[in-house]
A and B are shown apart, each in its own frame.
Chain A
């Protein structure tokens, strides 16, 4: 039966069809829905988990793959940075069962810190990479990825991009899935214990093998050429191929070459398709990977052709491509006159800006506000982290001075505390991020005698990526209820100066907790504990009484989106209000009633 699913759902269904035995990952847009889809098909012989971070996920999967099982690991592109330590070594050791590492790239970037290109990572690790252009292809290609991984006994990278991950299509889903049967781990220290001698030997083997894989991939079904032959040809990869294909269906006669396996590069295929081509336009996102491969080939084989793309400045270096940007680049390249309007809205009134904000009633707003109030007039460093609470940077809170990567808030606060003894350094970190990579930073801070206050914004979920459970929530992806891992007990075990748990929606108590901790030496922690409002909503709304003096302090200080002005008066949008009552605690005349 066909199911209408997003690209991530298609990847999940493809992996299930391939008989995957173990699936691990850490949430991250645009990859999170792969594991969430697999969770809808629980069956005997399948282990599914949200791991604490990507490194853990990859290592769990590696053991399964050593044993001959099929393993899938999912993450966003920056997650691959975290998992790169085991990946780089695993590339040398290899696997027995098929192992596919999904690293979802995010051109734009739309929801990410970087515009890194996982095809580069594949080349860096010397392992194959698959690059689907649609949800339908992703379903087929993930199955191929397992086949190639097993055939060449190497982990492979599967690299979708946001538009493929979040594009929907109808995909064939089965009623039942049968995991692969496998023999189990066979002890072989010469194979599975990495030593310099093994790495030297395998390095040579891998380079020789990759030439063979490139040859094999030259006849791969998703490395294609259509239209033409023509002296002016187009080379595309990923979603850019679909943009080009849609435009070229009205402009036939142009060769459209598509490479779905950027590394090892299918040289024979490409050399064959370049015959008679005088000018080649390369359409791809993130980095000019395919463009560079063609330039290398041209040099090695003495091919004379002009290559256009990111390096030549014909395609933008950054941001995502679109149907329209690709159309315009193709028109220039092919010399097609443009007659239609640009679709611009130059005569439109100025549009209101809508930067993403913390939801109405979000407890993070109250936590940030409490710290802000308590630290008024003090010299402070507010080190943020990755999650919804990065949005604490927005006006009027303006409570994020730094944000670098997962877990960096704690360690950066430590850094500030060492170079400036007069400032008060704070780290803001969510519960899931704390488990992912915050704990080690707290140990580091204690060990190295930092003076910092760690604010743990514990909303009992991984909110930004779609409310995934984590070790502190008491349930896992196998559907089991488990003992919650206690953040206060972890902190107690590390040996902090002070640990206070407080409800951020109790403003007075929260401010006093912050003042107490900030005044102490050493590493202190405040656990601001209140559930995400997307999970637990109160039906008790706040209302504004006639005694409102319209000072607008509530709007000015909290920036809650449920508060706005209507005909000059402050109003609360009842459909958004969650009754958190932060505004009623801010109000100087107690005009806000109800809530909590």
Chain B
């Protein structure tokens, strides 16, 4: 399988664990995988991206523009920031809940993500879900990353089996949160399946 997956969000949202799970699951299915993370100062509330490259034709750790098959977006403006990476046939999974930066609160700009979602809707090739609200209904926004992985897997665009993903998640998350994470994944998977993208 050759697939380029870009994960984007805001520092602190759990993108690094999400990319680690995709990489481990893709490897468990026999693929060569490379990935790259944003680490350092940007992790303090700045924009973060993870690039996951599956297949043996990828030499650069970063996905070139117009090449991503899938974007998993934790925040709507971050999807817009990275939309240039999406290929013409690619799909973006978009969490519609905005993370408001301090600069927006200070300036009173009123940024709430709706403008971003409207832009992406017009552009097309996106699956929208209020993943943050879905997580809150499960008890904690802590599982946002896993729920979004569920949506990506359920849409059929991730190219990795549901069972493989679940087995990796079980191994990667702390035992006391295992059940909650699996529930989040399944909830996301059902949302993804319902989009009929697969």
Contact = CB atoms under 8 A, between A and B. Distances in A.
B149 interface: no
In the complex, which range does the number of interface residues on chain A fall in? 35 or more
A342 B80 contact: no
A388 B39 CA distance: 13
A343 interface: yes
A283 B92 CA distance: 33
B62 A359 contact: no
Give 4 nearest A-B pairs by CB, closest first.
A343-B65, A343-B84, A111-B40, A167-B61
A319 interface: no
Given A349-B116, A356-B42, A563 B60 contact: no
Contacts of B85: 343
Given A166-B37, A343-B66, A575-B141, A353 B103 contact: yes
Contact of B102 (A340, A388, A394): A394
A334 interface: no
Contacts of A170: 27, 32-33
Interface string B12-27: 1000000010011001
Contacts, number: 159
Nearest to A327: B64
Contacts of B41: 29, 110-111, 356, 391, 464
Contact of B101 (A353, A359, A391): A353
Given A135-B34, A239-B61, A391-B44, 13 more contacts: A111-B39, A166-B61, A167-B34, A170-B27, A170-B32, A345-B80, A348-B83, A354-B10, A356-B44, A356-B45, A356-B46, A560-B102, A565-B105
Interface in B144-160: none
A464 B60 CA distance: 27
B58 interface: yes
A242 B59 contact: yes
Interface string A368-397: 000000000000000000001001001110
B23 A559 contact: no
Interface of A: 4, 6, 29-30, 110-111, 134-135, 163-164, 166-170, 239, 242-243, 245-246, 249, 322-324, 327, 340-345, 347-349, 351-359, 388, 391, 394-396, 464, 555-556, 559-561, 563-565, 575-576
Nearest to B47: A354
A324 B84 CA distance: 12
Interface residues of B, number: 56
Contact of A345 (B11, B32, B84): B84
Interface in B120-165: 140-142
Nearest to B39: A166
B80 A351 contact: yes
20 contacts: A134-B59, A163-B36, A169-B33, A170-B33, A243-B60, A246-B64, A249-B59, A322-B64, A323-B62, A323-B63, A324-B65, A348-B119, A349-B119, A351-B77, A352-B101, A353-B101, A355-B101, A355-B103, A356-B46, A561-B102
Contacts of A355: 45-46, 101, 103
B84 A359 contact: no
A371 B88 CA distance: 53
B42 A110 contact: yes
B45 A359 contact: yes
A348 B121 CA distance: 12
B105 A354 contact: no
B170 interface: no
B54 to A, nearest CB: 12
Contacts of B119: 347-349
Interface in B58-78: 58-66, 77
B100 interface: yes
B11 A245 contact: no
A354 B101 contact: yes
B99 to A, nearest CB: 8
A246 B59 contact: yes
A559 B106 contact: yes
A594 B41 CA distance: 30
A168 B77 contact: no
A30 B40 CA distance: 8
